[in-house]
Chains A and B, each alone.
Chain A
Amino acid sequence: MLDNAIYLVVSIAILVTMGLAMARAILGPTVYDRVLAANVFGTKTVLLLSVIAFLYGRPDFLDLALTYALINFVGILAVLQFFQSRSRTEAKEAKD
């Protein structure tokens, strides 16, 4: 019972943080704030899934959290590549 309570407390903390990150994602103001919020959301999802897997007693579902832990940052790296190529293109256009 005690461990269920603790899982519950932690998952509520994570859910509240997800709400805060959501507020940041919607408020902006810059696009990077939204990328940041998406990133916070990603790591929080990994933690939430790990905690819930144990809250429900389904540790074999941890594969899902592992997937996110492995490939969540690929999207963020693509964001960096996106801005890098755009700033290069603009620099090149300005030079021409």
Chain B
Amino acid sequence: MELTLDILSFVLMTTGGAFVLIGGIGALRLPNVYTRLHAASLTDTMASILIIAGIMLQAGFSLAAIKLLAILIFLLLTGPTASYAIANAALLSGLDPQCDGSTVGAADGDDESGEELRS
């Protein structure tokens, strides 16, 4: 029983770690803000569920497990909300979500591009 739990949590946490890494690579490598947001937010949710479930199996039934559950619930609520806010802020400022074949689309350039695009 103990061993089964250990193996299960091992699997959960490794998968979670893989998701975290995939999200990080996606956030670095994808061509524009919206695609990067997509990679980061989706893997964030999945990785949080997997990793925290894995730790909860290790923690057993204790106060720590309840706190972890609370952390998970709040992460699941706030993460997508933050992603929504970022996407909306980018959209409000006139950043074009369409990627027109050229790799970086409207977002190319340096810091100013965000400001110039707002007009």
Contacts and interface: CB of A to CB of B under 8 A. Distances in A.
Contact between chain A and chain B defined by CB under 8 Å: yes
Interface of A: 2-3, 6-7, 9-10, 13-14, 16-21, 23-24, 28-33, 35-37, 39-40, 42-44, 46-47, 50-51, 54, 59-60, 62-63, 65-66, 69-70, 72-73, 76-77, 79-80, 82-84, 86-87, 90
Interface in B93-119: 93, 95, 104, 107-111, 113-114, 118-119
Given A13-B21, A33-B107, 12 more contacts: A2-B6, A9-B17, A14-B20, A17-B20, A30-B90, A39-B40, A46-B48, A62-B71, A69-B70, A73-B78, A73-B79, A84-B89
Contact of B24 (A9, A21, A46, A90): A21
23 contacts: A9-B14, A14-B17, A18-B24, A20-B24, A29-B107, A29-B108, A36-B36, A47-B47, A50-B68, A54-B55, A54-B64, A62-B64, A66-B70, A69-B71, A69-B74, A72-B78, A72-B82, A77-B85, A79-B86, A80-B92, A82-B89, A83-B92, A86-B118
B93 A87 contact: yes
Interface of B: 6, 9-10, 13-14, 16-18, 20-21, 23-25, 27-28, 33, 36-37, 40, 44, 47-48, 51-52, 54-55, 58-59, 62-64, 67-68, 70-71, 74-75, 78-79, 81-83, 85-86, 88-90, 92-93, 95, 104, 107-111, 113-114, 118-119
CB-CB nearest 4 A-B residue pairs: A17-B24, A13-B17, A59-B64, A20-B24
Contacts of A36: 27, 33, 36-37, 40, 86
A79 B18 contact: no
Contact of B79 (A2, A18, A43, A54): A43
Q: Which residue among B14, B16, B90, B118 has the maximum number of chain A CB atoms within 10 Å of its CB? A: B90
Contact of A29 (B9, B78, B89, B111): B111
A59 to B, nearest CB: 4
